[in-house]
């Protein structure tokens, strides 16, 4: 059921030059499964991010919270080598993505790239002196969207916002939701269109989409959101459009245009809580339109991917926002784990 | 006679070196064109090109991808392939070094950087080939002249 973090870790091990391979290979398997990010900075210690937070990798391939001079570091040249390997030594063919700060890997993993932007006429045309990369793992967890599915599809698909801070599992949950909708879990094989600008949801790579999104799903990879919505609505006649990371009002307007064409939308957005979510101009626009039924906020840390709260947005100014607090579920699970251990 | 024969043999060796260097220039130009117009992965381009006839001296370079998958860097893998290639042994060390250093920037930068790399090494290797061409005539002439002189001297001494 669970595709497994260790497999995800093995997906990216080829990125590292030989001298670092053993260091990463030798990490404990249980730790490998918990890794969410690997942050590599030029001439600085390697940082591993898990549910418990950030820790450093020492030369014994163990995680430590103690900063010291003896921690292994990655040189500038090796960092450049990692980026080259990530691009299969074809950096020129990934230049557009690098200019936007990321490289997509097979399996839906993503590398965030930091460096010095080279601008021409106000536009970034290149990135030089890459100083840091952040390798973010993607994973498939079947069943993680069960509760969300029941919320979104109680009688028919409802327009829903799935929100949470970074590393709250929005993309993972969205992925499972798409799979369930497309695979007829509600009794209908919904026609799903996925706006996958960065190839993260579908795991798009040179060998095609590697994540399982169901048999009735079309994926638009690499398109800008506005363009993708137009294409999807006009040519794919979807029942539901799924989109990751709605960012601005222009995208929100396109979504509303799509809704008026009879398409349902499930979108994700960054925020730490519901109030912050509502303050965002693009979300404000969607909320005030009255077309969005639900806003779901996910938990973080040990509750990553779990629904923290569901807010019923409803239609009309007079309808009060009602919310359901699922934080009791976390307490129950913590107590259960304590009993087991 | 021996010197004349040596001169001819030397001439053929130099011809082979020139041919290989010219093929290297064509190879670099072809990689450049494909990268600029196709923007596909470097391995695909290399495998495509090296499957064709004109670049058979460089067929060993197809193993680059194999060595990279074992963990070597691209430039180290390319260098290893150049060293292991029997066809490229005809080149001198400095000429092979040029081919190896070309790979250091190959695929590692944006399009502008790539084109600069291609242009630099196209020019360097072309110049090497031209110098060799000039040198060839002189060396063959020298060998033939020495051979003729020795031949005449031997004839005079013994006859």
Residues A159 and A294 in one domain: yes
Residues A151 and A131 in one domain: no
* Cα B143 to the center of its chain, rounded Å: 24
Percent of chain A whose pLDDT exceeds 90: 38
The domain in which residue A325 lies consists of: 146-337
Are β-strands A160-164 and A294-298 bridged in parallel, bridged antiparallel, or unpaired? parallel
| pLDDT tens digits for range A110-122 | 899 999 999 988 8
Chain B residues whose CB is inside 8 A of the A84 CB are 73-74, 107-108
Give the pLDDT confidence score for residue B2 in this predicted structure. 62
- Candidate from B71, B73, B110 with C-beta closest to A91: B110
Chain A, 104 to 123: residues with Cβ < 8 Å from chain B are none
Task: Please check whether residue B47 touches A, CB under 8 A.
Answer: no
Query: Model confidence at B14, in pLDDT bands (50, 70, 90)?
Result: confident
- Candidate from A21, A84, A88 with C-beta closest to B43: A88
Q: How many CB pairs under 8 A join A and B?
A: 54
Residues A98 and A244 in one domain: no
Please answer whether residues A288 and A255 qualify as being in contact, where contact means their C-beta atoms are separated by less than 8 angstroms: no
**Residue where a domain terminates, one of A136, A159, A191:** A136
**Residue where a domain terminates, one of A136, A159, A190:** A136
What is the end-to-end Cα distance of chain B in Å, rounded? 17
| Distance (Å, whole) CA B10 – CA B2 | 12
pLDDT at A35 over 50: yes
- Average per-residue pLDDT for chain A: 84
Residues A38 and A183 in one domain: no
pLDDT at A242 over 60: yes
Say yes or no for a CB contact (<8 Å) between B68 and A84: no
Question: Within B39-110, where are the H helices?
Answer: 42-50, 64-69, 74-84, 93-102
Residues A18 and A125 in one domain: yes
Say yes or no for a CB contact (<8 Å) between B107 and A14: no
- List the CATH number of the domain containing A248: 3.40.50.300
Backbone angles phi and psi of B55, in degrees to 5? -115, 30
Chain B, 52 to 71: residues with Cβ < 8 Å from chain A are 68-69, 71
The pLDDT of A103-109, averaged and rounded, is: 84
Residues A195 and A219 in one domain: yes
- Candidate from B41, B74, B112 with C-beta closest to A84: B74
Residues A56 and A38 in one domain: yes
Least Cα separation, residue B35 to chain A (angstroms): 8
Query: Model confidence at A245, in pLDDT bands (50, 70, 90)?
Result: confident
| pLDDT tens digits for range A123-169 | 888 898 999 999 998 878 888 888 888 877 777 888 999 999 888 88
Give the pLDDT confidence score for residue A301 in this predicted structure. 72
Please answer whether residues A21 and A28 qualify as being in contact, where contact means their C-beta atoms are separated by less than 8 angstroms: no
Residue of B nearest to A18 (CA): B71
DSSP-assigned letter for residue A2? B
| Distance (Å, whole) CA A175 – CA A195 | 12
- List the CATH number of the domain containing A119: 3.30.450
Residue A141 lies in a domain: no
Residues A264 and A284 in one domain: yes
Please answer whether residues A81 and B105 qualify as being in contact, where contact means their C-beta atoms are separated by less than 8 angstroms: no
The pLDDT of A274-290, averaged and rounded, is: 87
Complex prediction ipTM? 0.76
Say yes or no for a CB contact (<8 Å) between A126 and B108: no
| Distance (Å, whole) CA A18 – CA B61 | 21
Residues A177 and A102 in one domain: no
Task: Please check whether residue A78 touches B, CB under 8 A.
Answer: no
Name which residue leads in pLDDT, A186 or A2. Answer: A186
Number of domains in chain A: 2
Please answer whether residues B94 and A75 qualify as being in contact, where contact means their C-beta atoms are separated by less than 8 angstroms: no
| Distance (Å, whole) CA B27 – CA B50 | 9
- Candidate from B39, B68, B113 with C-beta closest to A93: B39
Sheet of A123-136, strand order: A63-64, A53-57, A47-50, A37-41, A123-136, A110-120, A102-104
Give the pLDDT confidence score for residue B80 in this predicted structure. 94
Please answer whether residues A323 and A311 qualify as being in contact, where contact means their C-beta atoms are separated by less than 8 angstroms: yes
* Among the listed residues A216, A209, A233, the one whose alpha carbon sits nearest the alpha carbon of residue A178: A216
**Residue where a domain terminates, one of A104, A136, A168:** A136
* Among the listed residues A252, A246, A254, the one whose alpha carbon sits nearest the alpha carbon of residue A229: A254
Task: Please check whether residue B112 touches A, CB under 8 A.
Answer: yes
| Distance (Å, whole) CA B101 – CA B43 | 18
pLDDT at A322 over 80: no
Percent of chain A whose pLDDT exceeds 70: 88
Residue of B nearest to A22 (CA): B71
Chain B residues whose CB is inside 8 A of the A14 CB are 69, 71
For chain B, the domains span: 2-158
**Residue given tokens 């064709």 in the structure block:** B52
Task: Please check whether residue A68 touches B, CB under 8 A.
Answer: no
The pLDDT of A16-45, averaged and rounded, is: 90
The pLDDT of B8-20, averaged and rounded, is: 83
Of A196-205, A275-284, B21-30, minimum mean pLDDT range: A196-205
Please answer whether residues A147 and A307 qualify as being in contact, where contact means their C-beta atoms are separated by less than 8 angstroms: yes
Give the pLDDT confidence score for residue A323 in this predicted structure. 46
Say yes or no for a CB contact (<8 Å) between A17 and B108: no
Give the pLDDT confidence score for residue A321 in this predicted structure. 44
Least Cα separation, residue B66 to chain A (angstroms): 12
Say yes or no for a CB contact (<8 Å) between B42 and A89: yes
pLDDT at A337 over 60: no
The pLDDT of A23-32, averaged and rounded, is: 90
Residues A24 and A132 in one domain: yes
Give the pLDDT confidence score for residue A197 in this predicted structure. 84
Residue of B nearest to A16 (CA): B71
Of A260-264, B27-31, B65-69, minimum mean pLDDT range: B65-69
Residues A63 and A157 in one domain: no
Residues A132 and A66 in one domain: yes
Chain A residues whose CB is inside 8 A of the B74 CB are 84, 89
Residue A19 lies in a domain: yes
Give the pLDDT confidence score for residue A341 in this predicted structure. 47
């Amino acid at each position: 059921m669970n595709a497994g973090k260790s497999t995800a870790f093995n997906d990216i091990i080829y990125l590292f030059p030989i001298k670092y391979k053993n260091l990463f290979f030798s990490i404990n398997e249980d730790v490998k499964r918990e890794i969410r990010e690997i942050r590599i900075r030029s001439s600085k210690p390697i940082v591993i991010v898990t549910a418990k937070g950030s820790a450093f990798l020492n030369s014994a391939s163990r995680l430590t919270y103690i900063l010291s001079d003896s921690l292994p570091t990655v040189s500038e040249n090796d960092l450049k080598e990692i980026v080259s390997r990530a691009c299969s030594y074809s950096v020129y063919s990934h230049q557009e993505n690098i200019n936007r700060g990321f490289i997509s890997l097979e399996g839906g993993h993503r590398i965030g790239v930091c460096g010095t932007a080279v601008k021409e006429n106000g536009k970034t045309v290149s990135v030089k002196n890459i100083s840091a990369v952040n390798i973010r793992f993607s994973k498939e967890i079947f069943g993680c969207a069960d509760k969300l599915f029941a919320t979104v599809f109680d009688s028919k698909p409802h327009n829903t916002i799935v929100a949470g801070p970074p590393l709250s599992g929005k993309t993972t949950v969205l992925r499972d939701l798409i799979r369930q909708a497309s695979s007829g879990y509600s009794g209908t094989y919904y026609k799903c269109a996925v706006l996958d600008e960065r190839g993260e949801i579908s795991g798009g790579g040179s060998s095609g989409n590697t994540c399982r999104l169901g048999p009735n799903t079309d994926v638009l990879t690499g398109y800008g959101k506005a363009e993708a919505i137009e294409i999807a609505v006009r040519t794919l006649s979807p029942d539901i459009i799924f989109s990751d990371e709605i960012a601005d009002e222009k995208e929100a307007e396109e979504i509303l245009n799509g809704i008026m064409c009879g398409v349902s939308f499930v979108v994700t957005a960054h925020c730490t809580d519901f109030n912050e979510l509502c303050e965002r101009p693009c979300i404000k626009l969607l909320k005030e339109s009255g077309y969005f039924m639900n806003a779901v906020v996910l938990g973080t840390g040990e509750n990553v991917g779990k629904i923290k709260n569901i807010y019923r947005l409803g239609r009309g100014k007079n309808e009060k926002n009602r919310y359901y607090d699922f934080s009791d579920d976390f307490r129950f699970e913590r107590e259960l784990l304590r009993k087991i251990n | 006679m021996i010197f004349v024969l040596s001169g001819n043999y030397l001439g053929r060796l130099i011809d082979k070196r020139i041919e290989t260097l010219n093929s290297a220039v064509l190879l670099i130009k072809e990689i450049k064109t494909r990268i600029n117009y196709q923007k596909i992965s470097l391995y695909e381009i290399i495998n495509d090109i090296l499957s064709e006839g004109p670049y058979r001296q460089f067929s060993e370079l197809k193993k680059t991808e194999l060595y990279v998958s074992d963990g070597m860097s691209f430039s180290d893998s390319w260098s290893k392939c150049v060293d292991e290639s029997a066809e490229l042994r005809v080149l001198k060390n400095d000429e092979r070094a040029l081919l190896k250093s070309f790979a250091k920037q190959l695929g590692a930068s944006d399009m502008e950087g790539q084109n600069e790399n291609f242009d630099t090494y196209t020019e360097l290797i072309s110049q090497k080939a031209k110098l060799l061409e000039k040198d060839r005539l002189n060396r063959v002439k020298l060998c033939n002249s020495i051979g003729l002189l020795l031949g005449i001297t031997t004839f005079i001494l013994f006859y």
